[in-house]
A = this chain, B = another copy of it.
Amino acid sequence: MTKKQILLNAFNMNSVGHINHGLWAHPRDRSVEYNTIDYWTSLARTLERGLFDGIFIADILGVYDVYQSSVNLTLKESIQLPVNDPLLLVSAMAAVTRNLGFGITINANAEPPHTFARRISTLDHLTRGRIGWNIVTGYLDSAARAVGQDGLSAHDTRYDRAEDYLEVLYKLWEGSWDDDAVRADRAARVYADPAKVRPVRHEGPFYRVDGYHLSEPSIQRTPVLYQAGTSGRGRRFAARHAECVFVSATDKAAARAIARALREEAVAAGRRPDDIKIFVGISIIPGRSDREAQDKRLEYLAYASPEAGLAHFSASTGIDFSRYGLDDPIEYGTSNAIQSATELAQKKRWTKRNLLDELALGGRYPLVTGTPDAIAAELESWIDEGEIDGFNLARTVTPECFEDFVDLVVPVLQERGRYKTAYGGSSLRNRLFDAGDRLPENHPGAGFRCLTQAHSRG
């Protein structure tokens, strides 16, 4: 039997600091060049050389102001501030690659669905079917205030709103144009057939739309849908809509628990367990020998900022850790944090001292240091014991961390029969699921395909 293949995304952000904070100060780190095109096109070429499935780009619309009730450390260590728009990087990276996918994080409350739908369709055209969307609903109060709201709306309301948003999007992406609407027939002078294009009319609890989708059908139509929610409501949302779920787990047992819960909930929603690919966030430091790897880890650690890691975690949990002594027990019962619910469940006894130590390198993700063989074995066991499908590789010192992974670890994974030796498939979705370019029939989005199409398929 073929061994389960490992899927891989590079995890990144259009910013200096991302997960492994402080490493921007490392002399070989290039993340301060995040605002140049070459930084991204070079990275895209490296990832495609390593047959990565995608680059997954995080985003936030607010700032981290919980730690010390201020943005001081956030600015000094560039903890995801400044942060530029991720969507605008795609066409440059797509121009220098053919297969690399793009999983872009975009807040579902940031703009009206009609214009958002067009942005995604535009990129699905330009990339020839390589676009994924990581659906987030926002967890930062500062982001809500920045766009003129009084503050963050209640968690469940955000998901209800996202459900309505997605329904509009499915109607636009799947239903407004038939597959054969565009004829581009020069002789007959018919670009699109008016009988096969129709306006979307939607009156939902949050959104109202009356109009045509402005884009003709792209290869995937609906982008590959990513999600990262691990709260009860977030998991229900993911089980219904997500095709890829990005989870944070500090050990394999935790990953397995999340994976099983997600797949069970997907089945309850009428989908198959394998309709969801599960990715775990991880940091990797490989070396040609174990000694080289450990030396590299210590060298990186010398530039890491544990305090910046703590400040980031403060924003994620809503707990200002600056108010605690090094060995005080930390209360988390009143935290309103969403993203970290899983972690909270895993860490019953926190002190600032052990958090500083754990967050220094790896951030909230496991850190694996070692030879390519040791790393490959560890990744395999995450896949098998953790019952997951792949990894979002957080960057350390960039781009050397991705170059190291491609040069050292990928060949070993290939030798072990765990990693593709060439790209296949006609689109990001097709490469991930080996089952067509479009949403599968059991996905809720497929239900919004228009009747004339359903008939013609019948």
Chain A residues near B (Cβ < 8 Å): 14, 16-17, 22, 24-27, 32, 35-37, 41, 61-63, 70-72, 75-78, 81-85, 87-92, 94-96, 110-112, 114-115, 118-119, 121-123, 125-126, 128, 142-143, 145-148, 182, 184, 186-187, 189-194, 197, 207-212, 214-216, 218, 305
* B residues in contact with A22, CB < 8 Å: 189
Contact in complex: B147, A83 (CB < 8 Å): no
- Cα A26 to Cα B211 in complex, Å, equals 30
- Cα A118 to Cα B60 in complex, Å, equals 12
Contact in complex: A14, B122 (CB < 8 Å): yes
Contact in complex: A71, B194 (CB < 8 Å): yes
Contact in complex: A37, B126 (CB < 8 Å): yes
Contact in complex: B208, A72 (CB < 8 Å): no
* B residues in contact with A88, CB < 8 Å: 87-88, 90-91, 119, 122-123, 126
* B residues in contact with A147, CB < 8 Å: 112, 114-115, 209, 211
Closest approach, in angstroms, between the C-beta of A91 and any C-beta of chain B? 4
* CB-defined A-B contacts under 8 Å, sample of 26: A24-B186, A24-B191, A27-B186, A35-B125, A35-B218, A36-B126, A63-B212, A75-B194, A76-B190, A76-B193, A81-B212, A82-B214, A82-B216, A84-B121, A84-B122, A85-B118, A88-B119, A88-B122, A88-B126, A89-B126, A92-B94, A111-B111, A112-B148, A145-B210, A146-B210, A146-B212
- What 7 A-B pairs have minimum CB-CB distances, sorted nearest first? A146-B211, A91-B92, A78-B191, A35-B125, A148-B208, A111-B111, A84-B122
Closest approach, in angstroms, between the C-beta of A139 and any C-beta of chain B? 15
- Cα A96 to Cα B194 in complex, Å, equals 37
Contact in complex: B305, A189 (CB < 8 Å): yes
Closest approach, in angstroms, between the C-beta of A145 and any C-beta of chain B? 4
- Cα A145 to Cα B112 in complex, Å, equals 12
* B residues in contact with A191, CB < 8 Å: 16-17, 24, 32, 75-78
Pick the residue among B61, B62, B189 that contacts A76 (CB under 8 A): B189
Contact in complex: A142, B192 (CB < 8 Å): no
* B residues in contact with A110, CB < 8 Å: 111-112, 115
* B residues in contact with A145, CB < 8 Å: 210-211
- Cα A190 to Cα B76 in complex, Å, equals 5
Contact in complex: A209, B84 (CB < 8 Å): no
Closest approach, in angstroms, between the C-beta of A285 and any C-beta of chain B? 20
Closest approach, in angstroms, between the C-beta of A429 and any C-beta of chain B? 18
Closest approach, in angstroms, between the C-beta of A182 and any C-beta of chain B? 8
Contact in complex: B146, A25 (CB < 8 Å): no
- Cα A115 to Cα B148 in complex, Å, equals 11
Contact in complex: B148, A95 (CB < 8 Å): no
Contact in complex: B95, A41 (CB < 8 Å): yes
**Given contact pairs A88-B88, A146-B212, a sample of 4 additional A-B residue pairs in the complex whose CB atoms are under 8 Å apart:** A24-B186, A82-B215, A143-B211, A146-B210
* B residues in contact with A26, CB < 8 Å: 186
Given contacts A77-B189, A147-B209, contact A89 B92 (CB under 8 A): no
* B residues in contact with A35, CB < 8 Å: 122, 125-126, 216, 218
